[in-house]
Structure 1
Amino acid sequence: MTIHDRTDFPFLRALLASPTPVVMEVKQRNAHGHELLGGRTPAAVVGAYESAGAPCVSVVTGRWFGGSNTLLRDVAKHTELPLLQKDFITRTQQIATARDLGASAVLLTAALLPASSLAKLVAQCLRTGLTPFVEITSEAELEAIPHASECVIAVNNKDISTRERDPGDLRRSVELLPAVRATGTPCPVSASGIADPATAARLLDAGFGGLLVGTSLLRTDSPARWLDAVTGARSGLAVR
C-alpha cells in the first residue's frame, strides 16, 4: 500500500501539530462503574476541552464504560475536532460506521485481534481515510502492525484482561517507547492511567508524541488549568 499524505488524516495531523498533544476523552463511566460526567452533557465536556486547546477528542463507545454509538454521534454534532472512537473494533463494517458517525480515527486493540484481522482493519482504515489508533501492551504485539508509519501506536498502561480496573503501570510505556518509535509510527502515544499533569509532562519529555487522558481530565474542575499545568511542569514553571 502506498503511504498516504498525512494531511488527509485529520486526527493524526492535529495531534502532530499540537504543542500539547493530549487526546482528551469523553466517557460515561470509569472501569468500576462510577459516573464521570457528573450531570454535564457531552457537549459541555467537549466545549471545555475545546477551550483548553485539545487537538483531538476520544469518545468511548464501549459498553464497559457506558458508551454507545449515540454518544459518538452526539459529540460529533458539537465539535469540529477530530474524534477517536474507542471500542472493540473487529469488523470492517464497524470502520464505515465510525466514519459515518463522525470519527476520524478508530481504536484497534492488537491483543484482541489475530494478525490477519489487524492487517485487514488497518488497511480498511487507511482506505476509508481514518487513522488507525493501534493499542499495544507488549513488544511482541508490535510485530503484527502493518503500515506502522501511517498509524498512531499507543501503549495501554492498563490491563484489558481485568477490564482496565487496575491503576495502570506507566513503566510499560517507558519500557516500550524505544520499540514503538522503531516501528516508524509518527506519533507514539501513552494511554490511560495518567493521573496528573506532572506525570503527563514526564511522558512527553520522555519522547511520547501524544497522550490519551480520560478520568483525570473528567474529574478536574478545569481542563484548561490541567493542560497549563502540563506546560508549566515541562518548562519548570509554577502554574497558578
Structure 2
Amino acid sequence: MTILQTIIVQKQQEVDSLLQKKQPTFKTTKQPIPFKQRVSKARDLQIIAEIKRASPSKGDIHTDVNPVEQAKQYALHGAAAISVLTDASFFKGSMQDLADVANAVDLPVLCKDFIIHPVQIDQAKAAGASIILLIVAALSKQQLKHLYHYAIDHHLEVICEVHNLNELQTALELNPEMIGINNRNLKTFAVSMQTTEKLAKHLNKEEVLFISESGIHTRNDAYAASKSGAEALLVGETLMRSKNISKTFQQLQVMKQKRRKHHAR
C-alpha cells in the first residue's frame, strides 16, 4: 500500500469511532476575515503557516511545540492563516491543537487532515476551523463533490488539493474558489517544486486562487511559485524548524506576480 492508502485505512477507523461517540465540544467564537478575501487584497505572496509536529516522511519535526505560542509568532510576523495538522496517528496533532489556536489568534485557521466523511468537517468547524482541506487523491469524485458542498453549506472555505493534471481537472469541475497544488506526491512523499509550475499552466481562471504547498524552503522557491501565479504558500516544516521565524517570513513574502494566461495551441 502507498503511504496515502495506509493513512486512509486509519482514517476510516477513526471515522467509524467518531460516529459512535459523542463529539467533544470546544468553545470558539471568533469569525476572522475570510482567507480568500485577505489574500486577494495583498500585494505580497501570503503565507499559510503550519503547525506540524511530525510527518511520515520526516519523522519528528518539533514534537514539544506549544501550538498557541507558535501560532501567535506566526500571526505576529504576517501569516494570512494558520494551518493545524490535526491527524494524531501520522502527524502527532489533535483537534485540541486546532481549538487552542483558533481561540488564540484572529486569523483564519485551516484544519489540515485527511477528510473522508462529513463528521470530520463537523468536528473541524466545532473546533474553530474556518478552512478545510480536501485532498483529491484521497477521494472518489462523488465523495469530493459531496464533501465540498457540505463544507460550503456549513460556511467553511475549502482548499481542493491536487498533485497532477487529472486531479486538477477533477477539482476544477467543482468550480472551486481555491486550489492547493501540492508539490509532494502523497503516494511516495517525494517532493518536486516543478509540480506547481507544471499544473499552474492549466489554471486559466484568474478567479481561482491557487496556493503552492510543500517543499518551500528558500526565497527562490517563493519566487518560483509567485512566477507561476501562486498567491499564497503553505509552509510547514521550514517554519517549524526555523530558529528565526521573522527572518523566514521575510524571505518568503515576495511580491505577487500576475498569472500569465496560457492559451491552448
Same fold (TM over 0.5): yes
Runs ≥4 in structure 1, deviation > 4 angstroms?
Answer: 146-149, 231-235
Whether the 8 Å CA contact 1:59–1:86 is kept in 2: the answer is: yes
**Residue of structure 2 equivalent to 1:178:** 201
Q: Secondary structure at the match of 1:145?
A: helix
**Residue of structure 2 equivalent to 1:3:** none
Aligned in 2, Cα 1:9/1:147: closer, same or farther, shift over 3 Å?
Answer: farther
2:217 paired with 1:195: yes
2:41 paired with 1:17: yes
What is the one-letter code of the residue matched to 1:138?
N
Determine the C-alpha separation between the residues in 1 that align with 2:167 and 2:178: 14
What is the one-letter code of the residue matched to 2:200?
L
**Residue of structure 2 equivalent to 1:238:** none
Q: Secondary structure at the match of 1:182?
A: coil
Whether the 8 Å CA contact 2:230–2:256 is kept in 1: the answer is: no
Structure 1 residue 211, shift from structure 2 partner: 0.9
What is the one-letter code of the residue matched to 2:195?
R
Identity of aligned residues (%): 26
2:169 paired with 1:169: no
- After TM superposition, the structure 1 = structure 2 runs for residues 32-181 of structure 1, keeping only pairs within 5 Å, are 32=57, 34-37=59-62, 39-62=64-87, 63-145=89-171, 148-162=174-188, 164=189, 166=190, 168-179=191-202, 181=203
Aligned in 2, Cα 1:86/1:185: closer, same or farther, shift over 3 Å?
Answer: farther
Aligned in 2, Cα 1:185/1:91: closer, same or farther, shift over 3 Å?
Answer: farther
Structure 1 residue runs of 5 or longer lacking an equivalent are 1-7, 236-240
Question: Which structure shows the higher helix fraction?
Answer: 1
Tell me which structure has the larger Cα radius of gyration.
Answer: 2
**Residue of structure 1 equivalent to 2:228:** 206
What is the one-letter code of the residue matched to 1:126?
I
Structure 1 residue 126, shift from structure 2 partner: 1.0
Moved more, 83-92 or 139-148: 139-148
Whether the 8 Å CA contact 1:194–1:200 is kept in 2: the answer is: yes
What is the one-letter code of the residue matched to 1:12?
K
Moved more, 182-191 or 113-122: 182-191
Determine the C-alpha separation between the residues in 2 that align with 1:199 and 1:66: 27
Structure 1 residue 9, shift from structure 2 partner: 7.0
Structure 1 residue 118, shift from structure 2 partner: 0.5
Structure 2 residue runs of 5 or longer lacking an equivalent are 1-31, 258-265
2:48 paired with 1:26: no
Structure 1 residue 143, shift from structure 2 partner: 2.6
Determine the C-alpha separation between the residues in 1 that align with 2:148 and 2:35: 15
Determine the C-alpha separation between the residues in 2 that align with 1:64 and 1:105: 21
- TM-score under structure 1 length normalisation: 0.85
Structure 1 residue 120, shift from structure 2 partner: 0.7
Aligned in 2, Cα 1:65/1:115: closer, same or farther, shift over 3 Å?
Answer: same
Aligned in 2, Cα 1:140/1:147: closer, same or farther, shift over 3 Å?
Answer: closer
Matched residues, number: 225
Moved more, 83-92 or 15-24: 15-24
Q: Secondary structure at the match of 2:36?
A: helix
**Residue of structure 2 equivalent to 1:216:** 238
- Cα RMSD of the aligned pairs, angstroms, is 2.4
Q: Secondary structure at the match of 2:194?
A: helix
